Structure 1
């Protein structure tokens, strides 16, 4: 009987372990992540831990870095090379281990003991005998409820898979925004290099005029001030660009000689036609990975509630097999024990699980409302940013150029003084800087809108940070308005 109990317990354990792993593997989960990423944003990804494409990914990264970067290539490098993303992939392994653990029954326990007969007086009525007892004990509920716990863990595993996909999309969006910031600051740097060259030439010309007595010292000082401020703005632009390049280096996971990459000199122009997307709310809802995560969390919480309810009925049930020997006679038989839920019926656990389930459900509906609102707001921001950038490109910049030409003519005819000429130059510089900033804002808005339609929300903090970081260049020239207006 003892032998039969032992093999039966081992058989139950083996079946439970196999059922806990059936249909689940981290490799299969990552292949689904790859498919989701390809369908949503069109980039290949690889996991160093379980793919043989490490060398191929390194070669792809090297090839892309050896040519001027565009946004798509920067994103691809980040997805292949970012080690924090590789660390995120390990969440699949952790979640897989939780599935294995949930589907594994508790170990059986062995108990043994005995008594030994001691020498008796010759006149004793009964002779002493040795007595041995062996028991094997196992919590039967770990087998009975193992499938329920495994099912809940598999839901968490599926949630982890969705979160990994979301992390890939987050990195892609962040890299794209950072790349556009680098491009905008590169363009800003080129503009200030031209400004420094122009103001230096203006200052030298003013110095020559001052030496021959054609302009007063005040005009020379104003020209000198604009020149010095333009050099400060250039220095600030160089520092800002270097900082943004380092952030992009971190996102792409490159260091050493690989940081010597170059980018296309200018931000992409705005398409002639605005984005035509119908039913943006419907698309955002259907594609939302955030909603999918919330839905899986509801399922997982519901399954955990089911486990809590089931275990509240019989918290513990032990099945034992006993083998006993006394006086040379062996006896075997079963035994069992269970916990009586007289006081602790897991009321707190069941109430907490039920409340958690209701909370998850309410969060799901709230998230759906938020997604609809966010995609509408993102669409409006995109259209507004597009219109603003086009207005600068087609109206304000040409107007400022014409204004400067007219003021220069009047200055040459001695109809206006140096302050008015410097003010016109400053206004043209400001317009150029604002155009670059608005063009950058358009690309940030487009990246945000596309990411939401592809299924991943972008936090307002991320967008605000991107915009604030992209608007910090050229502040040293702002005070020149006052200098030119006197």
Structure 2
């Protein structure tokens, strides 16, 4: 009987160990970054890397320096952020942790060795125990599969974090450039307004300009100067926001921005934006994988809900009596926890509710993704039409109005009040045109993010506070 028990023990242990060793995984050299790098290259046309060694850091630093040696572009800003943003590196570290957890979950549980020695009255009893958790061993392949699915979901979360960093860097670039362009325009407008105020003051000294017109001209200059101060503050804030996204500090802070926003790109066609979003958005793919892992875990819970602990213990005793008699009994012990109270129903109900909650959240995200894609495209087209209208209609007409007002003022057909009013409206239109163009580029970023993932849409741009009150002279630059 003892021999049969011993053979049974060995068979069970060998079978469980063989199944567990077949499920073992190992930590990859790149920390699971291969699909991340591939997807970023495919969808963004950019490179990303996890910085592990000093050599990696040196290579990234050299590439960032080369990109900063030239005036920054939107693409260069994105590339710098993907290499230099430390928050993104932390996401890659989290991916490495997920891979380590996957590898850990694929390893068989370590056995427990117990030795007990009892001596007294000339008797000696030594008991040796080798305890293995058979439940963990038998379910190891299934648990390893669940961990692998969770690791794949973590890879898509890392991809989503990369897309989000790229989108935020591109948004920050457009905001910083637009703020700089607005500042430059208002600086020129203030110069023109100052010259007009000075001229009106001199005309007032000769009696050719009334005190009212002098006050209006002075208010014109003060309003533009105030708007310029706000624009400078906004430009400083937007540049710092871009700096944070790029992860720059020290000597790299003197990077150069272009003087104005880029020209309009080719307009994108609509296509089936809903199907594209459902198929390509990495956050949805990652949630699907997490749902798969939950489904596998739920199946495991259903299969094992009546057993929460199953231990197999191998026993080997060495006993010696005072008379010198020796005994070496061997055997094994099996311990099973019996679910007397609920037979695992609570665990099963918890798993089921958790799974259905994840299903509903994924379905909600799919519905929202369709709506977000439609909204993003409508916003993209609308912002394009608005910005184009400013460039092709509003600003040319404002230029004509300014020129005609100047001619009529020189011919004494209109007074200074109408000239100043036209100048004020001209400045407001030019500032609004810059912001409309900026909003179009932001909508372009949001549209791309709605299709592939990368965060929510940016907040609507605030209206300029002094748009109706800012002014400049009739010679304000366009």
TM above 0.5, one fold?
Answer: yes
1:262 aligns with 2:241: no
- Equivalent in the alignment of 1:123: none
**CA distance change for structure 1 residues 456 and 227 in 2, over 3 Å: closer, same or farther?**
same
**CA distance change for structure 1 residues 201 and 349 in 2, over 3 Å: closer, same or farther?**
same
**CA distance change for structure 1 residues 167 and 457 in 2, over 3 Å: closer, same or farther?**
closer
Q: CA deviation at 1:41?
A: 0.9
Of the structure 1 ranges 184-193 and 262-271, higher mean CA displacement relative to structure 2 is found in: 262-271
1:456 aligns with 2:453: yes
Correspondence list, 1:71-220, <5 A: 71-118=74-121, 129-220=123-214
**CA distance change for structure 1 residues 15 and 144 in 2, over 3 Å: closer, same or farther?**
closer
Of the structure 1 ranges 384-393 and 341-350, higher mean CA displacement relative to structure 2 is found in: 341-350
Of the structure 1 ranges 161-170 and 91-100, higher mean CA displacement relative to structure 2 is found in: 91-100
Q: CA deviation at 1:386?
A: 0.9
Correspondence list, 1:314-463, <5 A: 314-326=307-319, 327-453=325-451, 455-456=452-453, 458-460=455-457, 463=458
Q: TM-score scaled to structure 2, two decimals?
A: 0.90
For 1:254 and 1:114, the matched residues in 2 are separated by 64
Contact 2:387 2:437 in 1 (8 A): yes
**CA distance change for structure 1 residues 54 and 12 in 2, over 3 Å: closer, same or farther?**
farther
Deviations 1:197-244 (A, max 9, x none): 100110111122111110111111111111122112112111111111
SS in 1 for 2:72: coil
For 1:51 and 1:44, the matched residues in 2 are separated by 19
Q: CA deviation at 1:320?
A: 1.4
For 1:54 and 1:114, the matched residues in 2 are separated by 56
Q: CA deviation at 1:3?
A: 11
- Equivalent in the alignment of 1:228: 222
Q: CA deviation at 1:411?
A: 2.0
Q: TM-score scaled to structure 1, two decimals?
A: 0.89
For 1:115 and 1:293, the matched residues in 2 are separated by 56
Q: CA deviation at 1:364?
A: 2.5
For 1:412 and 1:115, the matched residues in 2 are separated by 117
**CA distance change for structure 1 residues 140 and 219 in 2, over 3 Å: closer, same or farther?**
same
Q: CA RMSD in A?
A: 2.5
- Equivalent in the alignment of 1:479: 469
Contact 1:27 1:50 in 2 (8 A): no
SS in 2 for 1:425: helix
- Among 39, 62, 67, the alignment partner of 2:70 is 67
For 1:396 and 1:114, the matched residues in 2 are separated by 96
**CA distance change for structure 1 residues 376 and 269 in 2, over 3 Å: closer, same or farther?**
same
* 5+ residue gaps, structure 1: 119-127, 482-486
Of the structure 1 ranges 356-365 and 169-178, higher mean CA displacement relative to structure 2 is found in: 356-365
Of the structure 1 ranges 218-227 and 406-415, higher mean CA displacement relative to structure 2 is found in: 406-415
Q: CA deviation at 1:451?
A: 2.5
Q: CA deviation at 1:255?
A: 0.7
For 1:269 and 1:373, the matched residues in 2 are separated by 29
SS in 2 for 1:20: coil
Contact 1:385 1:441 in 2 (8 A): yes
